[in-house]
Copies of this chain bind each other. A is one copy, B any other.
């Protein structure tokens, strides 16, 4: 920077970082600060971390699929909490940033921690590359775990289990499972169905998987053959698909819940606005603050054995549609 403030860059560094081991006179400090202000000087993060040998950057690989508002706000909280701990949080990539290339791109930035959602195709080898490149913590967020990385598990089978249990308790025995036809979402929907099957096990109830695209036409088609399916209940991937299907069923004359019970997930505001009011599965995640503290611990104690943490809790919310 402007060592045209009349001092050496070492002095500038001392002043701007408040280095306590070095005593700098007040007048000098003022001169330096004034010059920095004047020039709009901002230190060069790359140079700093090059010298330091490590950065304070936490890289969050941004989601490859649209996320529920719950996840959005969870990730926002996490980000804010990490920010308060003096980490520089950066979101990298988007749809189509997966696999080996993604890992290399992340590693180039030399983050001190990486948080990747399922869907980026992170594998044990990728984790190793990241660690060798200086990442002291690699975490995955999603229903799967990856060797070498800490897992923040969102076990969506709990959601399916919770829903199916609720429907069984309401006396339903032939249950449809609406899963998005859109690819990329099956990481979440597959465990969901599995959870439903687990809940149905031994009860004699059946679970039938029903792919559904996120369009009116697809919903109308599904509703059109609804009575042939002979189902008395359906649980959908989330409230939006539930709305979509319920609308189509009603248009088809299928009575909800008399003929078919409908249950959604995520407890969106809209679930309370539908008629009948939509029963749903409320999903809860821990506070971003708590996760930020975990990340911080992992960064400080890089030797720690990789653990798995269960994040997700699900509870059924009964309204009028079941």
Q: Which residues of B contact A35 (CB under 8 A)?
A: none
Determine if A197 is an interface residue (Cβ-Cβ < 8 Å).
no
Measured CA separation A49–B109 after assembly (Å): 11
Q: Mark A64-101, 1 if CB is under 8 A from B, else 0.
A: 00100100100010011001000011111111110000
Q: Select the residue from A42, A216, A269 with max chain B CB neighbours within 10 A.
A: A42
Asked if B46 and A50 make an inter-chain contact with CB atoms under 8 angstroms apart, the answer reads: yes
Q: Which residues of B contact A72 (CB under 8 A)?
A: 66
* CB under 8 Å from chain B, chain A span 136-188: none
Asked if B110 and A45 make an inter-chain contact with CB atoms under 8 angstroms apart, the answer reads: yes
Asked if A76 and B95 make an inter-chain contact with CB atoms under 8 angstroms apart, the answer reads: yes
Determine if A128 is an interface residue (Cβ-Cβ < 8 Å).
yes
Q: Which residues of B contact A79 (CB under 8 A)?
A: 93-94
Q: Would you give the shortest CB distance from A83 to chain B, in whole angstroms?
A: 7
Give the size range of A's interface with the partner.
Answer: 35 or more
Q: A94-B80, A244-B269, A273-B244 are in contact. Are A133 and B49 (CB under 8 A)?
A: no
Determine if A43 is an interface residue (Cβ-Cβ < 8 Å).
yes
Q: Mark A273-298, 1 if CB is under 8 A from B, else 0.
A: 10000000000000000000000000
| 22 CB < 8 A contacts A-B | A39-B132, A40-B125, A40-B128, A43-B108, A44-B50, A45-B108, A45-B109, A46-B49, A46-B109, A46-B110, A66-B72, A76-B94, A80-B94, A80-B95, A89-B93, A89-B94, A90-B91, A91-B91, A216-B269, A240-B269, A240-B270, A247-B273
